[in-house]
Structure 1
Amino acid sequence: MRTAPEGAVIGLDAPLYRITERLELTRRLTLFGRDPDAPPLLVFADGRCDLSVAAVGCGLENLAFTASGHRGTALLRIAADGCSLSALTLLRAQGAGILFERCHEVSAKGLVLQELGQEAVVATGCRGLSLSLVARDIGRRVAAAAIRLVDCEGFDVDAEVAGVSGSAVTIEEAQGRSSPMAGRIELRAQGMQRALTVLGRRDAPASGLSGHIRARDWSEAALLLSNVERVSFHLAMPDVAETPALKINGAFGLQDAAVVLAWPGAEAGGALPDGMMVGGGQTPAGNTILTENQAFDDGETPPSPVTEALLRRVGDAGGPGFRFYEVSGTCSLCGWQGRFQRTHRSERETLACGNCRATLRYRGQAEVICREIGAGRFATLAALAAGGGLSELAIYEPGITGPLRPFLCQAGRYEQSIYDPDQPSGTLGADGLVYQDLMATAFPDAGFDLVVTSDIFEHVRKPFPAFAEIRRILKPGGLHVWTVPIGMPPPGETRSRVDTSGPEDRMILPPVYHGSGTDGLSLVYTDFGRDIGRLLAEIGLPTRAVRHVAGGDDHIAGVTFVSVREDSKTSVT
């Protein structure tokens, strides 16, 4: 790729390519898989690795993409005009699928996107984008739309979406253009929060959209239209659902729109059943909202277009012991009941809740908090918070992301923080967030009942002074519930990966980076081992490990640590 001339067509014939750096097409090239029945599989190592297209007229055809490491970024990034994507499969990655950035007249046909942690497709500032795709099991890591179009115009989308934590398609007007979006949607969607979401601005409503939507099994509304005008949508559904088919909100509301709601047995042109439409904002003006009698083929969901052979290759690419499975259960955060699926090499970073997206790591912490704080009386963190079990507590949770926060923030006092080595602890940022250095916070002694950290201490430059600081700010008997990515089986001894004895970091071992909560990468300073309990006991933080099992054989897949600030009346069992 680095030496190929402009306009070259490069055929890939190996079954698998492991990518350990960013690939960038900076001149017009076409990459294609030679075998039409077995596309080559490109495996990206982590969030630093992707395929970025920056040259006009590039082509990608008959290729498959996955990722084996932490990532909050997309597998493909298209930032050039006139590109063509055809017969691409993107699956089983923690981040998003494809990011289109300010590109014009791009065609992406025959895409399959499956089992992704974030969005399948995100497009920002694009014109003339043509999309045809199938998306399954999207937003497994965070609540996300399958397709998200921001400030795009002249687009044409034909999509089949099944199983997404957010909206099947979200269209946003963020910049406030004066011209219509001129977009068309053909959508078949099931198992989502909403089928189609359109978000305009009060001073710049989204406009010029049309589409046919076939939807079933939504949890909030089939259509959400907020600050929208001059649109035309036809929604077909199997019956009158308990949840609204059409939801209108925003200060501008919905104006000068035509919406047809169709289902078997509907009275053509009749009144809407109670609850089918809910509204907010301004009283709708100039809208035509009609009912239509239309048959609905409520058959089984078509099988995934991803072949078993490709799934096996993706599984094999994960390395020894990496197998996909699913297990029924109840989320210890929100109480959702369903099937938790393993979709990544790291079990603790997968098996996500279908509602709040908490992975095994967070669900393990929630179990421990419920047992320690709620004395076993509450099965979920939601129940513990709703039952007043946190109302008398002071809780500190460093960071600003993660699924525990909506529940822990119901404590009587709740603190969170961000870190910047150039900002002194206690500094209030312009965005209202407080900076804290865990090695020396600005909190007074003995102020917290509970400190919760999730995969933070491996990134602290000097972790043991930070543990001592946690002990200082805990009340006697207070708890530190924490996780780090400890191996299974764990190493015998804790070891430093970086020499931090001087002002500059010096690598002792090859550098390792993990994905951060802000989609960046953080250096790992310490690998923790089985001796961590003894080491923390020596500084007054007796610690025990709570093991979490997974899989059909109930093997140990994760560990939550519980440290206690011990005093004369405190004991650890």
Structure 2
Amino acid sequence: MLRAVHTAAPGATILVAPEIIDIDTSLTVSVPLKLASSSQERPLLRFLTADTRLVIEAGASGGSVAGIDIAGRGHREGSLLEIEGVDDFTVTSTGIGRCEGLGFAMRESSNVRMEQVFVSDVGLGGGEIVHCRNVDLDIVMTMIGRRARADALTLAGVSGKVALAARDVSGNAINVRHSPEGAPSASAPLRLHVHAVECFRALGILGNSDTPLEAISADVVAEDVEDWAVLLNNCDGLEVAMQTRRSEPLRLDGRAGARNCTIAIATDRPDRIVTAGGSKENTISEVAMANWPPPPRAPSATSFKPRFSPHEVEDTCTVCGWHGVFRRTQDKIRETFACGACRASLRYRAQAQALLSVVEGGRYATLRALAAEGGLADKSVFEPGQAGPFRPYLRQAPVYKSSLFDPRMRSGDLVNGIECQDLTATSFGPETFDLVVTSDIMEHVRRPDAAWTELHRILKPGGYHVFSIPVTAKMAEKCVSRVDTSGDEDRLLMPAVYHGDGSGGLSLVYTDFGADLLDILDGYGLPTIAVPYATDDDMCGRVLSFVSRRRR
């Protein structure tokens, strides 16, 4: 298929067989083509590395993509679909998702149509559209912003029509803002239709105080949103028709405020409309509630049907203290049930609970409280890596070290101001740390036996290593090496498995850990216990963390 796309003549139609197609390079369309499924079943283009994607370039104007789903592995920052500099392009009956970054990006384009497009299961935003004219979009999005709070659809300098049905979004369903500096805003009107369920907000329109946003109209349906259903900030002359339930309905705010706006609202909380900042001269009228539409659902033909049963649990985040409903949004239990505030997944919250059980005698219920109330005041902490929700709190310790791993560098060397450390041979002195915290790192260490020895060396007597590895309660019996590292070069013993490395790339898994790990660590002077997440929920209780304590 790659060869067909790269060599096709303008105007050609390329039919793709309905199968999974793994692609390890970007697929760039630079001439007007029709890329479509060869049957009613959808093919799935699965891009295997973080820097690969489907790219629609300016020369593809007049082309289309239809009936094809796009997924990724390892994508944490970029998008799976990029459309840039195009005039006249159509995307229909297409699914985008299963990635840790952005679903799609559209820039500097015009007359782009998206119909029956479904975006689901993405770590960051669903889509970002910047400086595009006369778009016509009809999109459904679910499970957006799993890795960090992110909006389903961000619009900046956009004109045309946008219809979005969104469910389970950690940020706004639609966020409208000014164009980036240097790019002119769209002068033509923007018409929005938003149906948002279980989002942070349904619609945020966020202008600048010096140049309020104008020429926008919106129809909004919102239920069970976390913040305000609609936030209008620094805007002028907007027309909004909205109905909300079980949600704070409307806030007008900003230094310049919302001015000269006409808003018709049906809500079960009419006393919760807030006017603040410089808002004035708005017309707000209450209207009767219309028939409530059904919740957003995935199209029946998509490849991205849920691979799990819905599940939710009321809980308190052991990282930041947020209390609310935690929902399962993907099949991997450890990586879901994200906190509504800090976005810590279940594995992080379970690990935080294990950490809190051994630091300061278990007196603190959250890492936020541990840090704020001086629980780390006499601690020295090493937390390898650069990502994760613990860092704002653990770095309150008087001695806090983070690091990155670069096999080309020596331990202690700096890369862009960040210290490099090899866990098998760090640059730290003996008995340096009270606490070492590793989160899904040890399976990526080339020689874990050397790392256990090194951890024993740098921990103070009685110090703790609190760690997570990708296992749940039903662990395999034995640890298994996936790679022969006895020589200078790696030799695969099993098919290669990669996990995201936290910086947009992929990291090879060297070891599958089993239940005998506890006996192994005891032999290194690090007696260890497996700690299940303490909860009344059977599913969440299957997640394990581990606590090693150096013998005195």
| TM-score, length-scaled by structure 2 | 0.81
1:339-354 maps to which residues of 2 (within 5 A)? 339-344=326-331, 346-354=332-340
**Deviation at residue 186 of structure 1 after TM alignment:** 0.9
> 1:439-458 maps to which residues of 2 (within 5 A)?
439-458=424-443
Give the AA of the match of 1:51. Answer: L
User: Quick one: distance in 2 between partners of 1:501 and 1:22?
Assistant: 30
Q: CA deviation at 1:454?
A: 0.9
SS at 1:292 equivalent: strand
Per-residue Cα deviation, 1:489-508 (whole angstroms, up to 9, x for no partner): 42623425153643x55555
Which is worse superposed, 42-51 or 126-135? 42-51
Aligned-partner Cα distance in 2 for 1:556–1:71: 29
- The 1:433–1:181 alpha-carbon spacing in structure 2 relative to 1, beyond 3 Å, is farther
Deviation at 1:563, TM superposition (A): 1.5
Residue 84 of structure 1: CA displacement? 0.8
Tell whether the 8 Å contact from 1:391 to 1:411 is kept in structure 2 after alignment. yes
**Alpha-carbon contact 2:70-2:95 (below 8 Å) kept:** yes
Structure 2 CA distance for partners of 1:420 and 1:259, relative to 1, 3 Å: farther
Question: What corresponds to 1:258 in structure 2?
Answer: 260
- Match of 2:4, SS state, is coil
Map Cα deviations across residues 535-566 of structure 1 (whole Å, 9 max, x no partner). 33333222232345999875985432222111
| Separation in structure 2 between the aligned mates of residue 18 and residue 548 of structure 1, nearest angstrom | 38
Task: Tell me, in whole angstroms, the C-alpha distance in 2 between the residues paired with 1:192 and 1:550.
Answer: 25
- Aligned equivalents of 1:332 and 1:299: distance in 2? 40
- 1:546 has 2:531 as partner: yes
What one-letter code is carried by the residue in structure 1 that aligns with 2:4?
T
1:176 maps to amino acid:
E
Partner of 1:28: 32
Instruction: Report matched runs for 1:78-477 at 5 Å.
Output: 78-79=83-84, 81=86, 82-90=88-96, 93-124=99-130, 126-150=132-156, 152-173=157-178, 175-177=180-182, 179-182=184-187, 184-188=190-194, 189-198=196-205, 205=211, 207-214=213-220, 216=222, 217-224=224-231, 228=234, 232-234=238-240, 236-238=242-244, 245-248=251-254, 253-254=255-256, 257-264=259-266, 276-279=274-277, 284=278, 288-295=280-287, 297=289, 300=292, 302-307=294-299, 314=305, 323-330=308-315, 331-333=317-319, 334-344=321-331, 346-373=332-359, 375-385=361-371, 388-427=374-413, 430=416, 433-477=418-462
* Contact 1:172/1:206 (8 A) holds in 2: no
| Structure 1 pair 301–520 and aligned structure 2 pair: CA distance change class (3 A) | farther
Q: Which position in structure 1 is the counterpart of 2:42?
A: 40
CA contact under 8 A between 2:500 and 2:507: conserved in structure 1?
A: yes
- State the 1:348 CA deviation: 2.0
Query: 2:470 is matched with which residue: 485, 489, 501?
Result: 485
Deviates more, 1:107-116 or 1:486-495: 486-495
Report the secondary structure of 1:469's partner residue. helix
Q: Distance in 2 between matches of 1:352 and 1:485?
A: 17
State the distance in 2 between where 1:534 and 1:341 align. 33
Where do 1:44-63 residues align within 5 Å?
Answer: 44=46, 46-48=48-50, 50-54=53-57, 56-57=60-61, 58-63=63-68
What is the aligned partner in structure 2 of residue 9 from structure 1?
A: 13
Could you say which residue in structure 2 is the equivalent of 1:565? 550
Q: What's the TM-score, normalizing by structure 1? A: 0.79
Aligned to 2:504: 519
Secondary structure (helix, strand or coil) at the match of 1:519 reads coil
How many pairs align? 535
Q: Secondary structure at the match of 2:261?
A: strand
CA 156–244 in structure 1, closer or farther in 2 if over 3 Å, else same: closer
Report the CA distance between 1:39 and its aligned residue: 4.4
The question of whether the paired residues in 2 share the 8 Å contact of 1:239 and 1:263 is answered with no
Name the amino acid aligned to 1:260: T
The AA in structure 2 aligned to 1:338 is: V
Residues 342 and 224 of structure 1: is their aligned pair in 2 closer, same or farther, counting only changes over 3 Å?
Answer: closer
Task: Quote the offset at 1:30 in angstroms.
Answer: 1.7
Counterparts of 2:245 and 2:519 in 1: how far apart (Å)?
62
Query: Is residue 179–residue 185 contact of structure 2 (8 Å, CA) maintained in 1?
Result: no
* 8 Å CA contact 1:21, 1:50 repeated in 2: no
Q: What is the Cα deviation at residue 326 of structure 1?
A: 1.2
CA contact (8 A) 1:137 1:162 kept: yes
Cα displacement (A) at 1:369: 1.5
Deviation of 1:382 (Å): 4.1
Tell me, yes or no, if the aligned pair for 2:129 and 2:158 is still in contact at 8 Å.
no
Distance 1:435-1:116 versus aligned 2 partners, 3 A rule = same
- How far off is 1:90 after superposition? 3.6
**Displacement of 1:293 after TM fit?**
1.3
For 1:485 and 1:545, the matched residues in 2 are separated by: 13
Give how far 1:290 is off: 0.9
Distance verdict in 2 for CA 1:491–1:209, change over 3 Å = farther
Letter in 2 for 1:372: V
Displacement of 1:371: 2.0
Shift of 1:308: 5.9
2:226 match: secondary structure: strand
What is the letter of the counterpart of residue 469 of structure 2? V
Are the equivalent residues in 1 in contact too, given 2:313–2:327 (CA < 8 A)?
yes
What are the Cα deviations for residues 218-267 of structure 1, in whole angstroms up to 9, with x where unaligned?
433445566x566635363548976861232xxxx43795333443599x
Sequence identity percentage:
30
Between the aligned partners of 2:482 and 2:403, the Cα distance in structure 1 is 25
Contact 2:131 2:186 in 1 (8 A): no
Q: Per-residue deviation at 1:65?
A: 4.5
Instruction: Extract unaligned runs of 5+ from structure 1.
Output: 267-271, 316-321, 568-573
Per the alignment, residue 570 of structure 1 pairs with none
| CA positional deviation for 1:215 | 5.2
Give, in whole Å, the separation in 1 of the partners of 2:179 and 2:425.
40
C-alpha separation in 2, matches of 1:244 and 1:428: 49
Partner letter of residue 401 of structure 1?
A: A
Q: What are the Cα deviations for residues 153-177 of structure 1, in whole angstroms up to 9, with x where unaligned?
A: 4454222333311122223446423
Stretches of structure 2 lacking an aligned partner (at least 5 in a row): none
